[in-house]
Amino acid sequence: MYEVILYYKFTDIEDPESFCEQHKSFCKELGVKGRIYIGREGINGTLGGTPEQMQKYKEHLTAIEGFEGIDFKTDTIDFIPFAKLKCKTRDEIVALHEEDVDPAYGGKYLEPHEWKAVMESGEDYVMIDVRNDYESKIGHFEGAITPDVENFYDFPDWLDQFDAPKDKKVLMYCTGGIRCEKFSVLMKEKGWEDVNQLHGGILRYANEEGGEHYKGKCFVFDDRLVVPVNKDNLEPIARCEITGKPADSYINCANMECNKLFVCSKEGAIKMEGCCSEECRQSEFKRPFDPENAFRPFRKWYNYFDDEFKERELEGNA
């Protein structure tokens, strides 16, 4: 068995390039795989390896001054969902593209049991899913607003159009918590008073509360694509864009000129030869379609996108 950890820490790093070089060297020697972003504001990563490797990594990182108390979200699986190790520097460890957003001034943390209690209390609140639209499409909390945005850095523009009363209680969540750290600051700066964020995000809630009140699955930025949240309810909430039947698998359109990421069942993929439309199915630029490999749980949906797209999407994975 292997473990996958998801984590972040906002802390000042004086020389990100030097820190990154040393950290990458340690990770290579340890033999772990995954993705780590390092910047002046801290670290954001997800790694896979054996339980022993993960424990050594955690001990190493948290022993560095300023990195104490990291909330590691851990999942146990039977394969490592990363092809290699990537450790790079970034201007932002999660890209909001807004200046002077200090997570120290963010919203109040709600632990998973507190979050659940608020949902069950009958209290009046508005809940915001702080993830991209293709993430919330396959899973979200009951009653959540799921903004129609393609990137995390689109949220400031979305917020400018958000018309909830400034004195209304706000709940927000994302996959592992990092996006809420920044977005909650922005909401408070815009005048919302009672801003609360799910500490540890969906993944921690799933581990501690069993996923109650969550519908569908959780999109993750590794080769697993989706993971279960509420194991007592695994029914898909999205629908295949070809057949209209319930589905929660993503594939890329086999037409290389399209490459659209879309929800598709195996039945629909076979019918359209992996394409999102009849026009794409007739394209001379269509890749050969292998239904068995296309629906392997460890297939990388972003393999066919250009480097700029991959870097942008993987940057906002928590």
Whether 73 and 131 share a structural domain = no
Q: Does 174 participate in catalysis according to the annotation? A: yes
In a domain, 213, yes or no: yes
Q: Which SS3 state, helix, strand or coil, does residue 116 take?
A: helix
What CATH number does residue 45 fall under?
A: 3.30.70.100
Cα–Cα distance for residue pair 84/47, rounded to 1 Å? 10
56 is written with which tokens? 């050594």
Asked whether residue 62 falls in the same domain as residue 12, the answer is: yes
Residue 72 lies in a domain: yes
pLDDT given for residue 297 in this prediction: 46
Domain check: are 130 and 206 in the same one? yes
In a domain, 46, yes or no: yes
- Owner of token pair 């919203």: 107
> What pLDDT is recorded for position 233?
86
Number of domains the chain contains: 3
Do the beta carbons of residue 146 and residue 172 sit within 8 Å?
Answer: no
Q: What is the pLDDT at residue 224?
A: 84
Q: At what angle do helices 51-62 and 16-30 cross, to 10 degrees?
A: 150
Q: What pLDDT sits at residue 221?
A: 87
- How does DSSP classify residue 176? S
From 20, 27, 87, 174, the catalytic residue: 174
d(CA 273, CA 139): 26
Q: What is the pLDDT of residue 245?
A: 96
Both 112 and 147 in a single domain? yes
DSSP string, 120-165: HHT---EEEE-S-HHHHTTEEETT-B----SSGGGHHHHHHT----
Residue 292 lies in a domain: yes
Cα separation, 118 vs 20, whole angstroms: 40
* Segments of the chain scoring below 70 in pLDDT: 293-318
Residue 231 lies in a domain: no
Task: Identify whether 95 is part of a domain.
Answer: no
CA–CA gap between residue 93 and residue 46 (Å, rounded): 12
Based on the domain organization, do 215 and 107 belong to the same domain? Answer: yes
User: Roughly how many angstroms between the first and final C-alpha of the chain, as a whole number?
Assistant: 23
**Domain containing residue 9:** 2-89
Question: Global pTM?
Answer: 0.88
Q: Which two tokens stand for residue 315?
A: 């940057």
Closest CA to 316 of 212, 192, 176, 209: 176
**Is the domain of 188 the same as that of 269?**
no
End position of a domain, from candidates 89, 117, 149 = 89
Asked if the structure places residue 228 within a domain, the reply is: no
Tell whether 164 and 273 lie within a shared domain. no
pLDDT, position 252 = 87
- Do 121 and 209 lie in a common domain? yes
Residue with tokens 């581990």: 207
Per DSSP, helices labelled H in the chain are 16-30, 51-62, 112-121, 133-136, 155-160, 178-189, 201-209, 266-271, 278-281, 291-294, 307-315
pLDDT tens track for 271-288? 999 999 999 999 999 998
Task: Please indicate, yes or no, if residue 18 is contained in any of the structural domains.
Answer: yes
Instruction: Give the CATH number, domain containing residue 169.
Output: 3.40.250.10
